[in-house]
A and B are shown apart, each in its own frame.
Chain A
C-alpha cells in the first residue's frame, strides 16, 4: 500500500509538471498581448512599459519565464498581470465558495442520482421508469447557464417569485442561514445534470448486475430480496459510480463549476478561472490549473482506494 501511494505521488508530480508546462505553452502561443502594456495602462510611457517588462522578465526565453512563474507560484508570490493581486491568495479566497458549492451539490446529486437509478431499475419498463428516464434526459440536456439564469429569473428576480437571494456568496461563519439560502439554487442547478447522468448509469449497471450468476445464486439460497439488492446488486453496481463521482467531484472542486459560479456570482475558484481566461491573464490560469490538477490526481488515488474497499478482488499494487 505504501509503495502504491509513493508511486502515485511521484506520478502526480509528473502530471503536475506536464500539465502546467502544456498550459503555459498554449497560453504563451495565444496572442494575449503584451502584459506590460496592460499593467501600464493606456497613458503609459515607453520607459514605464520597458521597466515592467524587465521586472516580469518578459524578454527572457520562454522556459526561463516558465521556471520563474512556477517558482513564484510555489513560493506564493505570483501576481496577476491584469490586477496585480496575489494568485495564491485569490485561489484561497475562492475555496470556501467553491467547496461549499461542490460539497452541497455533490451530496444532492449522489443521493438523488442513486435514488433515481434504483427506482428506475427496480421498476424497469413500468411508467415510473419511463417518467424518470424522460426527466433524467431532460436534466442531462439542460445547459447549466440556462438553468441557472432561469432559476434566478423565476425565483429571485420576481417572475413570479422573489423568495431566493439573487446570487452572491455569504460565508458560513458570518451567517449560516444566509450561506444556506444563497447556495440552495446553485446546489440544485449544478446537481441536476449529474442526477440525470448518474441515475441513467446506475440503472443500467443494476439491470446488468441483476442478471449475474451470483445474484441468481443468492436468490436461490433464499436470501431476502432487500439483502440481495443492497449487498449483492447495489454494491457491485456502485463501482463505476465511485469512479464517476471521484473524477466529477475533483473536477468541480478544481474549478470546473465555472458556469454555475459565474451565473450565481459566487466568486469561487471557477469564477476566478473564468475571469482569468477572459482576460488572457496567464498567472491565475497557471495557478488554477495546478490547483485543479492537484485535486484530480488526489481524487483518482482516492477512487483507486475506494475500489479496493468495494471489491475485495481489487488490490492496489
Chain B
C-alpha cells in the first residue's frame, strides 16, 4: 500500500465519520422525554403514565385552523370553547355542555342575543388568566388567518357586508361585546341561527390568549385551557401531549383524562400502523385496519378491535338541473340501480351500513327511509319511461381507491340501465372544486359528507338547500333545488331549540328530498375501526358520535 492510497483511505473513513456525525446532528428532532408530570387532576382514578398512539397527520395543531378528524380527536382535550360536548358514549355524546362558560347561555326571545359568563379562575397552561376578551380575539384571529371556519361565523353582527370584519379585517367585530372584569361575553346576531350553539363549540371558536400571532402556530404550541397541552409537534412525524400544569379541573364538565402523557407517531400507511399495534409497539391504531388484515383482526385480536360508524353519509349526487337527471324518473332509476350491500362488501370490505337517509343514524331527527329496493329491471323500465335512455352521462370521482372503485361501480350500473357513462377520475386535490364548478357540468358524482357538528343544518342547508347553489365552490353539487323544501329549511334554520316537533320537520325534509323527489342517492354510512394493543383495558372504551374514541377515558390493564 502506498502512502498516497493509505492517506486516501484515512480521508475516506474520516469523511464517512463526518457524514454520520452530521446525521447524528440532524437527527435530533425526536421528542424530548418528559417525566409526565401530573400537574392536572384526574377524576377517574384510572390514570396511567403514557398512551402510545399511531395517528394520522393532523392538518394543523392550531385551533383556529385545524379541520380534520385527526386534529380534532387529539386536540379536543387541549383547547376549549365556551361550550363543548358531553364525554359520553353514543348519542348522549352529542349533548352540548358548558366548558369555559359557567352555564349554557341566556338567549333572548328573538334568538339574536346570547349572553355567557366565563367560569371563575380559568387559566391557560402557561399560568396566564383566561379573559372574556380572549374569546373575541380568537374569533377575530380566525378571520385574520383566513381560517376555513370563518364561514360559520357569518351571522354574528359586524361580520358580513361590505364594511364587515370579514371584508375589512380592521377594528373589531361589533357583535361580540366582552367585559373582562365581569367575565361576560355577549353575542349579537344579525338573524337567529338555529345551530349557533354548535358553531360556538367548533374548534374555530376555541379560546386562545389575546396577542397570539395571527398565523399558523402549529409548531409553536399555543397555551391551552383543557386538561392537556401540546409539548411538541413535528409535522408528519409525531406529537407529544402532557398534562396542563394549571388545569386544576377548571372545566368540571370535561374529564381530566387518564394518561399522563400521549406520545403520537404519525404513520399514514394503514398496514404499518396495524403492525405497530400488533407487535405492541403502540397502544392504538388510528388508521383503519386494512381490508386484507381485517379477518385476522376480527378473529385473532377480536377483543382489541372495535368497529364504529360515525356521522357520515356517502352518496351519489345527480345533477338535478340538467338532463338526464332533471327528470325524476331518471333519478328514481338510479336509486333502484344501486345495491348498497354490493358497494359495502365489494369496495369497502364490509365496513359500512346501507342507508337511504341523508342524515346519519343517531341523530334525533333520523327516521329510517325505506323507499328503494335494488331492481335493475324496474330501473331500466324507468329510464325508458323518462325518455333519457342512451344519453351520455359524465360521471365524476376521485382517482384513488376506494373512491375510484366506487365511482366505477356507479358508471357500471348506469351502463346496465341504459346510459352511456363517460368516466372522469380526478386527483383529490382538485376533485371537489371541479365538481363544485357549474362549468364542469358534472351529471353524476361520487361524494360524501362527515358532520362538522351534530345538527341537521350542517347537512341540509350546506349541501341541499337550493338557495345556496353557487356558480363556483358549490357544495350543493347536485344542484338540488326543491322550492318547498328550501322554504322549510330556511324556516327551520332560525329555530335554536330542537323540540320533537322540530325534529319531525327535519325528518320530513330528509324524506322529501331522498324519497319523494329522489334528488340524491345516499347508500352508505361508512364504518371504520379502532384497534388497540394488548395492554389496553377495553372495558374503558368509549365512542362518542362527536369525539370519536374518547382517548382521555382510556385505561390500561
Residues of A bordering B, CB below 8 Å: 31-34, 37-49, 51-52, 55, 79, 82-85, 89-90, 92-93, 95-96, 99-100, 103, 107, 152, 156-158, 162, 165-168, 170-174, 179, 265, 267, 272, 278-281
The answer to whether B23 touches A96, judged by C-beta atoms less than 8 angstroms apart, is yes
Chain B residues near A40: list those with CB within 8 A. 146, 148
Choose among B23, B25, B148 the residue that contacts A100 (Cβ–Cβ < 8 A): B23
Chain A residues near B265: list those with CB within 8 A. 168
The answer to whether A280 touches B237, judged by C-beta atoms less than 8 angstroms apart, is no
B551 → A minimal CB distance (Å): 21
The CA-CA distance from A53 to B275 in the complex, in Å, is: 42
Choose among A55, A100, A280 the residue that contacts B430 (Cβ–Cβ < 8 A): A280
B441 → A minimal CB distance (Å): 16
Which label, helix, strand, loop or mixed, suits the secondary structure of the A interface?
loop
* Of listed A39, A40, A42, residue having the most chain B CB within 10 A: A42
Does chain A have a CB within 8 A of B236?
yes
A59 → B minimal CB distance (Å): 15
Choose among B20, B148, B218 the residue that contacts A44 (Cβ–Cβ < 8 A): B148
Number of cross-chain contacts by CB at 8 Å: 142
Q: Mark B335-358, 1 if CB is under 8 A from A, else 0.
A: 000000000000000000000000
Choose among A47, A82, A93 the residue that contacts B234 (Cβ–Cβ < 8 A): A93
Chain B residues near A84: list those with CB within 8 A. 60, 65, 216
Chain B residues near A170: list those with CB within 8 A. 30
The CA-CA distance from A230 to B470 in the complex, in Å, is: 75
The answer to whether B427 touches A280, judged by C-beta atoms less than 8 angstroms apart, is yes
Known A84-B216, A90-B235, A93-B237: A43·B462 in contact at CB below 8 Å: yes
User: B167 — nearest CB in chain A belongs to which residue?
Assistant: A47
The CA-CA distance from A37 to B28 in the complex, in Å, is: 36
A193 → B minimal CB distance (Å): 22
The CA-CA distance from A251 to B448 in the complex, in Å, is: 40
Does chain A have a CB within 8 A of B481?
no
The CA-CA distance from A134 to B279 in the complex, in Å, is: 37
The answer to whether B267 touches A171, judged by C-beta atoms less than 8 angstroms apart, is no
The answer to whether B67 touches A41, judged by C-beta atoms less than 8 angstroms apart, is yes
Choose among A38, A46, A173 the residue that contacts B28 (Cβ–Cβ < 8 A): A173
The answer to whether B146 touches A48, judged by C-beta atoms less than 8 angstroms apart, is yes
The answer to whether B272 touches A265, judged by C-beta atoms less than 8 angstroms apart, is yes
Chain B residues near A92: list those with CB within 8 A. 26
The CA-CA distance from A93 to B57 in the complex, in Å, is: 15
Choose among B28, B216, B272, B429 the residue that contacts A171 (Cβ–Cβ < 8 A): B28
Does chain A have a CB within 8 A of B151?
yes
A160 → B minimal CB distance (Å): 14
The answer to whether A166 touches B427, judged by C-beta atoms less than 8 angstroms apart, is no
The CA-CA distance from A162 to B274 in the complex, in Å, is: 13
Choose among B19, B267, B433, B452 the residue that contacts A99 (Cβ–Cβ < 8 A): B19
The answer to whether B433 touches A34, judged by C-beta atoms less than 8 angstroms apart, is yes
The CA-CA distance from A171 to B20 in the complex, in Å, is: 12
The answer to whether B430 touches A31, judged by C-beta atoms less than 8 angstroms apart, is yes
The answer to whether B433 touches A38, judged by C-beta atoms less than 8 angstroms apart, is yes
A51 → B minimal CB distance (Å): 5
For the A-B complex with A33-B429, A38-B433 known, give 10 more contacts whose Cβ atoms are closer than 8 Å: A31-B430, A43-B151, A45-B150, A84-B216, A85-B216, A89-B219, A103-B16, A166-B279, A174-B27, A272-B236
Choose among A38, A158, A168 the residue that contacts B267 (Cβ–Cβ < 8 A): A168
User: B266 — nearest CB in chain A belongs to which residue?
Assistant: A267
B173 → A minimal CB distance (Å): 14
The CA-CA distance from A107 to B234 in the complex, in Å, is: 30
Does chain A have a CB within 8 A of B473?
yes
The answer to whether B272 touches A45, judged by C-beta atoms less than 8 angstroms apart, is no
Chain A residues near B237: list those with CB within 8 A. 93, 267
A-B complex: 8 closest residue pairs judged by Cβ atoms:
A41-B148, A171-B27, A33-B430, A174-B30, A96-B26, A166-B275, A167-B272, A96-B27
User: B293 — nearest CB in chain A belongs to which residue?
Assistant: A157
The CA-CA distance from A272 to B470 in the complex, in Å, is: 35
* B119-166 with Cβ < 8 A to chain A: 146, 148-152, 154, 166
User: A38 — nearest CB in chain B belongs to which residue?
Assistant: B429
Does chain A have a CB within 8 A of B434?
yes
Does chain A have a CB within 8 A of B45?
no
Does chain A have a CB within 8 A of B423?
no
Does chain A have a CB within 8 A of B109?
no
User: B276 — nearest CB in chain A belongs to which residue?
Assistant: A166
The CA-CA distance from A50 to B29 in the complex, in Å, is: 37
The answer to whether B279 touches A162, judged by C-beta atoms less than 8 angstroms apart, is yes
Does chain A have a CB within 8 A of B269?
yes
Chain B residues near A96: list those with CB within 8 A. 23, 26-27, 29
Q: Mark B43-71, 1 if CB is under 8 A from A, else 0.
A: 00000000000000001100001010000
B442 → A minimal CB distance (Å): 15
Chain A residues near B60: list those with CB within 8 A. 83-84
* B461-507 with Cβ < 8 A to chain A: 462, 470, 473, 475
The answer to whether A167 touches B267, judged by C-beta atoms less than 8 angstroms apart, is yes
Choose among A93, A152, A162 the residue that contacts B29 (Cβ–Cβ < 8 A): A93
The answer to whether A45 touches B154, judged by C-beta atoms less than 8 angstroms apart, is yes
A149 → B minimal CB distance (Å): 9
A146 → B minimal CB distance (Å): 15
B343 → A minimal CB distance (Å): 23
User: B475 — nearest CB in chain A belongs to which residue?
Assistant: A42
The answer to whether B151 touches A45, judged by C-beta atoms less than 8 angstroms apart, is yes
The answer to whether B473 touches A44, judged by C-beta atoms less than 8 angstroms apart, is yes
User: A53 — nearest CB in chain B belongs to which residue?
Assistant: B146
B199 → A minimal CB distance (Å): 11
The CA-CA distance from A170 to B22 in the complex, in Å, is: 15
The answer to whether B427 touches A43, judged by C-beta atoms less than 8 angstroms apart, is no
The answer to whether B23 touches A99, judged by C-beta atoms less than 8 angstroms apart, is yes
Does chain A have a CB within 8 A of B7?
no
Chain B residues near A32: list those with CB within 8 A. 429-430
Does chain A have a CB within 8 A of B268?
yes
Chain A residues near B236: list those with CB within 8 A. 90, 93, 267, 272
The answer to whether B146 touches A167, judged by C-beta atoms less than 8 angstroms apart, is no
The CA-CA distance from A316 to B152 in the complex, in Å, is: 65
